[in-house]
Amino acid sequence: MTDDHIMTIREMCDAFDVTPRTLRFYEAKELLFPIREGQKRLFTKRDRARLKLILRGKRFGFSLEEIRQLLDLYHMGDQQQTQLARTYEIAQQRLSDMEAQRDELNQAIDELKEQMRWGEKMLASMDQNKRAAE
């Protein structure tokens, strides 16, 4: 299977469109744990899964630290009752944050549109004045 394929840092970068720096940075932040064969890093299926979650987390607006905590909870032991519930809590919190953010954004958009209607009228009247002056 290509499933347990072990990848070099370059393969990872190409596969996920990130830089080597990013992968090393994530390792330093304990988000990834590639195998160290000699000097080189080797990334397994596990790392790919984690990276996939990391990138998704970033799309969701989680910070790397939050993502690390979520990954820790996720890949931890077997009494995941409280853990998973906690994960769920964090995600729920994040969700309401995001919805609030969206609402703010919508409001800002509305205000800006209002401003721009103003600008339109301005432009139109100035255009008239301009033609009247010719």
Partner DNA sequence: CGTCTGAGTTACGTCAACGTAAATTCCCAT
Partner DNA sequence: ATGGGAATTTACGTTGACGTAACTCAGACG
- Taking CB under 7 A as the rule, which mask of x and - marks residues 29-48 in contact with DNA? ---------xxxx-------
Q: Which of residues 1-40 bind its own copies (CB under 8 A)?
A: none
Q: How far is the CB of 116 from its own copies (least distance, A)?
A: 6
Residue 52 found at the interface with DNA (CB under 7 A): no
Which of 16, 22, 46, 74 is the binder for DNA (CB under 7 A)? Answer: 22
Q: Do 20 and 9 meet the contact criterion of CB atoms below 8 Å apart?
A: yes
Q: Under the rule (CB under 8 A), what is the footprint of its own copies?
A: 56, 59-61, 80-81, 84-85, 87-88, 91-92, 94-95, 98-99, 101-102, 104-106, 108-109, 111-113, 115-116, 119-120, 122-123, 126-127, 130
